[in-house]
Structure 1
Amino acid sequence: MSVSVSTATFNAVLNGLFEDRSYVVGVEASAADAEIFTLLGAKPDAQALPHLARWYTHIASLGDAVSSLKAAEVPAPAAAEEAAEEDEDVDLFGSDDEVDEEAEKVKAQRLAEYAAKKASKGPGPAAKTTITFDIKPWEAETDLVELEKMVKGIEMDGLVWAQAGKLVDIAFGIKKLQINAVIEDAKIASTEDITDVIEAFEDHVQSVDILAMQKI
């Protein structure tokens, strides 16, 4: 029996494979990487396949050394003939051209292992970032307690404010407000979405800066 997988599907699987690893197998580039690199032929779309594109760029940086990567062991003709009688052929690109049967078996095994690994892991935790906003008042008489309430009243999907902000001295008795928030990266694409809303309190706010950001 022959199983055919479209190029788009194969590339999507590879993109998932390289999400949490740097090479096809092991901790350094091998003939397996050279083989996939040659099959791809050109750099994938970085927007649609970011992990595969990152891997491709890395392998391409090896230049002529790609062709000299350690070759995988190829079974003796007799062993290959025996394997052909016992195992199924897998044609990943649906091609009728003669292919290296052992290499195809290895690729099929890796794809199966990757699919099983993804299924067992399940969805991971959402990526989040802690942000410290530095908010300067419009004037010395600005009520910073009221301003803090206004800021914490901003509601967005994926945004959680800290319970309390902090008043920090600037000069001559003038203070500014620093307050932390946690955002879900997938839900809030840019911190400007938040700073724009804060700056809209134009009677209270002179400027808003991002003092610190940290992935959690």
Structure 2
Amino acid sequence: MHRLSNIPLYTSIVDVQVSIMQVMFSLPSAGKSSIMLDVKPWDDDTDMRLLEEALRSIEVEGLHWGAFNLVPVGYGIQKMTIMLTIDDDLVSVDSLIEERLTAEPINEYVQSCEIVAFNKL
């Protein structure tokens, strides 16, 4: 079958040219990533509810917090596993961890953060 057979006969050359130009010069959509973080508190005395509130208080354009889960580590300590979605063009995961999650005032609750899973959407 010919490639142009799907173009209706009544389509003008200008319409075809406009369609081709739209495809050629369309900007790619911004990529998104889904990330799972392990957030480890300092000790078993850390209030995990306050830790969650501190994390969710971080508001950056292109950052969307998701569900979380508390996972026992041992000796009464729990770590938080939390999902987040980022727009790749707007948010850097490394700078988010270094400049926001392990910096003041959140470092009062957070000992460390690790990326458990990183998936492009």
Q: Answer whether TM exceeds 0.5 for this pair.
A: yes
Deviation readout 1:30-85 (Å, 9 max, x if unpaired)? xxxxxxxxxxxxxxxxxxxxxxxxxxxxxxxxxxxxxxxxxxxxxxxxxxxxxxxx
Structure 2 counterpart of 1:206: 111
Deviation at 1:116, TM superposition (A): 4.7
Q: For the structure 1 residues 154 and 115, does the alpha-carbon distance in structure 2 shift closer, same or farther, using more than 3 Å as the test? A: same
Equivalences for residues 51-200 of structure 1 within 5 A: 116-120=19-23, 122-162=26-66, 164-188=67-91, 190-196=92-98, 197-200=100-103
Identity, in percent, stands at 32
Q: Quick one: distance in 1 between partners of 2:115 and 2:63?
A: 15
> Matched residue of 1:194: which SS?
helix
Which sections of structure 1, spanning at least 5 residues, go unmatched?
1-112
Q: Give the aligned CA root-mean-square deviation in angstroms.
A: 2.2
Distance 1:194 1:116, change over 3 A: same
For residues 209 and 114 of structure 1, the distance between their equivalents in structure 2, rounded to whole angstroms, comes to: 50
Q: Which amino acid aligns with 2:82?
A: I
CA distance 1:118–1:133, shift in 2 (3 Å): farther
**Which structure has greater helix proportion?**
1
| Partner Cα distance (2:38, 2:87) in 1 | 20
Distance 1:214 1:125 in 2: 17
| Structure possessing the higher radius of gyration over alpha carbons | 1
What is the distance in 2 between the residues matched to 1:166 and 1:132? 11
CA drift at 1:117: 3.5
Rounded to whole Å, the distance in 2 between the matches of 1:150 and 1:192 is 18
Query: Where is the strand percentage greater, Structure 1 or Structure 2?
Result: 2
How far did residue 159 of structure 1 move? 0.7
Letter in 2 for 1:117: I
Unaligned runs of 5+ residues in structure 2 are 1-15
Q: Give the count of matched residue pairs.
A: 102
Counterpart amino acid of residue 49 in structure 2: V
Greater relative CO, 1 or 2 (CA 8 Å, sep 6+): 2
Distance across 2 between alignment mates of 1:181 and 1:118: 36
